[in-house]
Amino acid sequence: MVGMYTANTMASACKLWGMALPFNSSQFCHLAKESSQTSAGFALRNLLENDIKPSNFITRKSFENAAQPEGPPNAVLHFLAIAKLQMLSFTWMIFKELVILLIFSGF
């Protein structure tokens, strides 16, 4: 079975939301992953020191950009839970409309 499963969908969404470091989910070798871990540590420290939170950059528009028709159904649940935590008005019906729009637009 081929497709985008939850881990791939959420990794893609995190990139679109601006919450992922470059190449965070596309490392090929062990040495590159070690370097990536060091970069992640520095980035995390910067976020904490500057009080930068997901609510500073996750918006309704970023959710619309991350809607993926080929994603797994349970990704919708993840999206809705994150939207609720961010206090965004993003409902199942909005998600359904976005996916239908993407499918019929030839995406």
| Vertex 75: Cα angle to 69 and 80 (nearest 5) | 105
Q: Could you tell me the pTM of the whole model?
A: 0.63
Q: Residue length, the chain?
A: 107
DSSP state of 15: H
Q: What is the pLDDT of residues 78-95, one digit of tens each?
A: 888 888 888 877 777 776
DSSP state string for 59-85: -HHHHHHH--TTS-HHHHHHHHHHHHH
Q: What is the pLDDT of residues 42-83, one digit of tens each?
A: 989 999 999 998 888 788 788 777 766 566 677 777 888 888
Is 41 a residue whose pLDDT tops 80?
A: yes
